[in-house]
Structure 1
């Protein structure tokens, strides 16, 4: 949050006034002077006199979400980086601010969409399409200018003849000729102005394109030079290690399908030091020495026996073996959001984002069902942690991109017969792209809002999820939340693609105050840690370590109950019981390297099914064509669907503009099966399931579903 920023000029201010802003639990709400400018940036100051001098904080409404509570007169503005909780003085003030905020957000999103469309156009054939359009527009204006100039010359000759020859002309006719001459002159001037204006506009577009192309070229050169230096230094280091008889942890690739295996170390050393972790505002180093008291064989957790259920497919068509020139696709996308990069289906997998977040539930019938049976909340926390880690088990070899859902797209997965759970997800927002997900199983409920921020940096692509995942157990009343960690795709430019999951995950039990902090270690070429290692502690509300968690995010997670703990902070030493296996990954599915590296569960996700909503991802034609390997038709259908969505967006924008002109309240596009509200546990905005989907399916009533395919 910036404390200083450039002065805000009065001509750029859309609205300003007093609002109460939530500060913290000690100070509560405090009055602040808020300023909304024409760039859709909402800033606040301690007083009106500070405007333009000492900004206390700001939030960009572009890709932010706004929620209004009529009961409390509260306004919540949630962005990926921060959230403002505001309170208006009265209903009239709240309505005025809400209207101004929604209009500014609408305008910012509209301009962003326009810029994105323009960027895509400029990116095609290095601006050839734009140049052709600009050329035709200028030719039309020049033709209009030549025509008007001819008329002007003719009138000028007539008037010159009258003056020089001394012939008489009726006053009325002469007046008409002079009027026509004046109009033609004005038309010439106007046409010249339009040509100048059009030329200036097109020049700016070309300058933007050329500047972007030049900066990307320079960045690529720098990155390639850096890569060359790194490669050279790694070769020298490898040679030194080879000469000394040492070993270097590395990735060993075994096929052209980007499948790789890690050189693992034994996870249970006599003494193991965990990496540092950051929790909330306080930094705590917990490199604890762990001594396992009993090293008997791992105790395997009980497994739930699955019912057979209906017969499901066991394979999908093999992925066509077409080479992908990823750099040719990505080179014009450096710095952009992943969700805004126009990708052909060649770089995709035949699943949507909605289906990928449903894939989090692959081990839910084992982990969350078992957690629901635990009476001790600390032990239950270990199984919730296992569930959180298991959702990353399929990412190791999945370097392809899922389809971005259309607004209003849904996906249901009813596995009540065999796995004991069912879930519904919906794409609930276009700006920012966001999906809501709700699942319910035997003694548990899971729900989450999934949105993300991402940037392509040339050498790597990072995806940072935003929002909380909630897991509740009605029987005990325990309510857990956690945020997902960062996923990074490496070697975008040179070498084989590989994926790393890294960062700190804090799981909180809001009922008891217990916490679990997991450290997903970032891969390092020279690091001594086990690749893909996950380690952490489960602590009670008093901060005492009760369990130790260890494993890897692609293989297994174990829990070890602490018998004895001595020391504090980075000097903590714990003695534990024998490790208990919480989760083990399913063995690789036969032939999955040809089927997008899907697990058996992933293969079943896109299986055609009768009775689902007409907006279900399984009915999406471009995704279905892509799964069958018909890529050319899939790309054409994908473009058709995107154009259809773009046309709907423009109609919606026109409706909003008309509403604004009439001074009416702007209603955002509402989800069908979810409702936006403020979460009491985290204070963030979240979409809550309205419990209507399964009733609609039972009654075969899909009248609420829009036509998006």
Structure 2
């Protein structure tokens, strides 16, 4: 759920009443007997890039990929905890909190086997809460890439969804490309703030048992979190599920400082679906994270968390504040959320056709699409290609109602 804490509102930022509202249930529940034949639909996609493969609307969950990415922020409180005054002199404790944030964000994938809607090029999504501001934009169509940026008084977070996707018959594998970035603003005893930059190298994910058996999501490999400001590292292994589910969801890792990289300073372990515990050498264990409880009817709501339920919520007072490109205004996913599969399918087909026509028009005119808020960059040292927020300020545009530079995509 969205955590309650003091709202450190930035100077000049307006109070948003719509940010306070929440809902506890979707307008329509998913039919319990809704079954689909995965093999009938994707048997011709073996070995292909699924980013170019269209699936029927009943394979979708009623959120866009832009909204799904924002689920990362459900446990942003862990980044706030990293910046607590008592952790100002403990860099290992801070990297453990950042690592916990990086692990906990996978909780939203548990039992989530439906596919989010592919974002339309130029689509945007904002999420404004008393704790943080989040904004994302679909910056590229092929490959499909969403870029996002979030910030509060304590931290900044940014990433993009560039990935390699492959279907291998029984499973769908996703390998992220590039890093997640976290910049902490750590308050020091003298009243100043120390800024630390962390990068997170994520693990591979897969959806298994696509043809036979119960589908499940698994994340495997080694996640590396590095503090670029002082060289501290934390490596976390996401264990592979064994026979009868042995080792499912388990993670285990160790944190090291740059001064003595061969000596383990602390360890972290648990399950990315339940809890995480840390322990320093010679110190007692400390529970650092516990997953939020799910809504009572979560299984009938695509296994959404309370946090996810808010993402496509559109109270009347919010409509006039959003740009015409916001994901909540998509008619196809709105129809699916309301249980109208026929309308959702028709609208999905219409939007895909409109997107193709817009792309053909750009090609005819000899112009490339330019993202509106994120600029592409290349880091020669790390070799990372990414997108950086800052071409213009979305929140200033929002306060002025200035969205004339955005295209009509819906």
TM (normalized to structure 2)? Answer: 0.89
Report matched runs for 1:468-487 at 5 Å.
Answer: 468-474=179-185, 475-487=193-205
Number of residue pairs matched by the alignment = 379
Aligned to 1:128: none
* Distance across 1 between alignment mates of 2:349 and 2:244: 44
- The equivalent position to 1:392 in structure 2, one of 93, 103, 106, is 106
Computing the radius of gyration from Cα coordinates, the structure with the larger value is 1
Question: Quick one: distance in 1 between partners of 2:353 and 2:195?
Answer: 47
Secondary structure (helix, strand or coil) at the match of 2:51 reads helix
How far apart in 1 are the matches of 2:4 and 2:264?
A: 29
Q: Structure 2 CA distance, aligned partners of 1:586 and 1:557?
A: 13
2:252 corresponds to: 535
Q: Which residue of 2 aligns with 1:162?
A: none
Shift of 1:681: 6.4
Q: Deviations over 1:624-668 (max 9, x none)?
A: 011111111111111111111111111222222xxxxxxxxxx64
Give me the whole-angstrom Cα distance separating, in 2, the residues matched to 1:685 and 1:489: 26
Is the aligned partner of 1:349 residue 2:94?
A: no
Q: Distance in 1 between matches of 2:380 and 2:105?
A: 25
Q: Are 1:412 and 2:126 counterparts?
A: yes
Structure (1 or 2) with the greater helix fraction: 1
Q: 2:324 and 2:301 mapped to 1: Cα distance?
A: 26
| Conserved? CA contact 1:377–1:478, under 8 Å | no
Residue 509 (1) aligns with residue 227 (2): yes
Describe the SS at the equivalent of 1:605: coil
Q: Say which structure, 1 or 2, has more relative contact order (CA 8 Å, 6+ apart).
A: 2
* Structure 1 position 467, deviation (Å): 1.7
The DSSP-based 3-state class of the residue aligned with 1:360 is helix
Classify 1:479/1:705 alpha carbon distance in 2 versus 1 (closer, same or farther; 3 Å): same
SS in structure 1 at match of 2:383:
coil
Distance 1:426 1:378, change over 3 A: same
Q: Check if 1:695 corresponds to 2:357.
A: no
Distance 1:304 1:622, change over 3 A: closer
2:11 alignment partner in structure 1: none
Q: Distance in 2 between matches of 1:313 and 1:678?
A: 41
In the alignment, is the contact (CA less than 8 A) between 1:367 and 1:383 conserved in 2?
A: yes
Cα displacement (A) at 1:680: 6.5
Q: Is the 8 A contact 1:510 1:681 kept in 2?
A: no
- In structure 2, C-alpha distance between the alignment counterparts of 1:681 and 1:522, rounded to whole Å: 32
Question: What does 1:177-576 align with in structure 2 at a 5 Å threshold?
Answer: 305=5, 310-316=20-26, 317-321=28-32, 322-364=34-76, 366-373=77-84, 374-375=87-88, 376-415=90-129, 417=130, 420-474=131-185, 475-525=193-243, 530-541=247-258, 542-543=260-261, 544-563=263-282
1:245 alignment counterpart: none
Deviations 1:271-299 (A, max 9, x none): xxxxxxxxxxxxxxxxxxxxxxxxxxxxx
CA distance in 1, matches of 2:177, 2:65: 14
CA deviation after TM superposition for structure 1 residue 496, in Å: 1.3
Tell me how far 1:338 sits from its aligned partner. 2.1
CA contact 2:159–2:180 (8 Å) conserved in 1: yes
After superposition, give the CA deviation of every residue in 1:445-471 in whole Å (9 maximum; x if it has no partner): 000111111111111111112121000
Helix, strand or coil: the match of 1:678? strand
Partner of 2:287: 581
Distance 1:680 1:560, change over 3 A: farther
Q: Report if the CA contact (8 A) 2:202-2:224 is conserved.
A: no
* Distance in 2 between residues matched to 1:679 and 1:582, nearest whole Å: 33
Q: Quick one: distance in 1 between partners of 2:172 and 2:304?
A: 21
- 1:219-241: per-residue Cα shift (whole Å, max 9, x none)? xxxxxxxxxxxxxxxxxxxxxxx
Distance in structure 1 (CA, Å) of the matches to 2:234 and 2:58: 40
CA offsets, 1:322-348, max 9 Å, x none? 221211111111112221111111011
Q: 2:385 matched to 1:685?
A: yes
RMSD, aligned CA = 1.7
Report the secondary structure of 1:559's partner residue: strand
CA distance in 2, matches of 1:413, 1:304: 16
State the SS of the aligned residue for 1:626. helix
Rounded to whole Å, the distance in 2 between the matches of 1:346 and 1:560 is 45
Q: Give TM-score scaled by structure 1 length.
A: 0.52
Structure 1 residue aligned with 2:188? none
